[in-house]
Amino acid sequence: MTTDIKAALRALHIETPSWAYGNSGTRFKVFAQRGVPRDPYEKLADAAQVHAHTGAAPTVALHIPWDKVADYGDLAAHARDLGVGIGAINSNVFQDDDYMLGSVTNPDPAVRRKALDHLLECVDIMDATGSGTLKLWFSDGTNYPGQDDIRARQDRLAEALSAVYDRLGADQRFLLEYKLFEPAFYTTDVPDWGTAYAHCLRLGPKAQVVVDTGHHAPGVNIEFIVAFLLREGKLGGFDFNSRFYADDDLMVGAADPFQLFRIMYEVARGGGLEAGVAFMLDQCHNIEPKIPGQIRSVMNVQEATAKALLVDRDALAAAQAGGDVLGANAVLMDAYNTDVRPLLAEMREEAGLAPDPMAAYAKSGYFEKIAAERVGGTQAGWGA
The answer to the question of residue 94 lying near a second copy (CB under 8 A) is: yes
The answer to the question of residue 375 lying near a second copy (CB under 8 A) is: no
Which string of b and e fits 271-285 if b means at least 16 CB within 10 Å? ebbeeebbbbbbbbb
The answer to the question of residue 16 lying near a second copy (CB under 8 A) is: no
Q: What radius of gyration do the chain's Cα atoms show?
A: 21
The answer to the question of residue 186 lying near a second copy (CB under 8 A) is: yes
The answer to the question of residue 147 lying near a second copy (CB under 8 A) is: yes
The answer to the question of residue 248 lying near a second copy (CB under 8 A) is: yes
Residues in 207-236 that interact with a second copy by CB under 8 A: 216-221, 223-225, 227-228, 230-232
Please, which residues have CB within 8 angstroms of residue 255's CB and are 6 or more apart in sequence?
242, 243, 244, 248
How many helices (H) and strands (E) the chain has is answered by: 14, 12
Options 73, 83, 169, 194; binder of a second copy; rule CB under 8 A: 194
Stretch 270-299: interaction string toward a second copy, x if CB under 8 A: x---------------xxxx--xx--x---
The answer to the question of residue 328 lying near a second copy (CB under 8 A) is: yes
Nearer to a second copy, 167 or 216 (CB): 216
The answer to the question of residue 162 lying near a second copy (CB under 8 A) is: no
> What's the closest the beta carbon of residue 152 comes to a second copy, in angstroms?
8
Please, which residues have CB within 8 angstroms of residue 104's CB and are 6 or more apart in sequence?
93, 112, 115, 116, 119, 138, 140, 156, 157, 159, 160, 161
Nearer to a second copy, 58 or 191 (CB): 191
Nearer to a second copy, 128 or 330 (CB): 330
Residues in 49-88 that interact with a second copy by CB under 8 A: none
- Is residue 63 within a helix (H) or strand (E), and if so which, with residue range? strand 59-63
> Hey, is 317 helix, strand or coil?
helix
Nearer to a second copy, 69 or 358 (CB): 358
Q: Which one of the spans 48-56, 120-128, 169-177, 240-248 is the region binding a second copy (CB under 8 A)?
A: 240-248
Options 6, 13, 269, 374; binder of a second copy; rule CB under 8 A: 269
**Burial of 96: CB neighbours in 10 Å, binned 0-12, 13-18, 19+:** middle
Helical H segments across 191-340, by residue range: 193-203, 222-231, 257-269, 290-310, 313-321, 325-337
- Is residue 280 within a helix (H) or strand (E), and if so which, with residue range? strand 278-281
Q: Which one of the spans 14-22, 49-57, 266-274, 368-376 is the region binding a second copy (CB under 8 A)?
A: 266-274
The residue count for binding a second copy (CB under 8 A) is 107
**Burial of 228: CB neighbours in 10 Å, binned 0-12, 13-18, 19+:** middle
**Which 8-state DSSP code applies to residue 221?**
-
Nearer to a second copy, 37 or 292 (CB): 292
The answer to the question of residue 7 lying near a second copy (CB under 8 A) is: no
